[in-house]
Structure 1
């Protein structure tokens, strides 16, 4: 997959490296600001119990 992406990017090695850095930053920002907040509502991380519980 990385070889496919490297071959498709324009320019020489330095330009390709910069394009890869920009793409990586864009994907990370998309995950951080859109996907992770959406997925957080679906995950049970807030269902913790602190303190004593009632036993039946």
Structure 2
């Protein structure tokens, strides 16, 4: 899959590297600000009780 993405990025090597970095940063930001906060209340790890 990564090779497919790499082949479809436009431009020379430097532009491909910068585009790949921007794509990775976008995916990380999407996960951190949208997906993880949405999933976090649904996980059972929050209901921990100690006595």
TM-score normalized by structure 1?
Answer: 0.86
Two-structure CA RMSD over aligned residues (Å): 0.7
Larger radius of gyration: 1
The equivalences for 1:1-56 within 5 A come to 1-51=1-51
User: Structure 1 segments of 4 or more deviating over 4 A?
Assistant: none
- Secondary structure at the counterpart of residue 10 of structure 2: coil
Distance 1:33 1:45 in 2: 19
- CA drift at 1:45: 1.5
Q: Whose RCO is larger (CA < 8 A, sep 6+)?
A: 2
Distance 1:8 1:27 in 2: 17
In terms of fraction of residues, the more helix-rich structure is 2
- CA drift at 1:26: 0.2
Structure 2 residue runs without a partner (length 5+): none
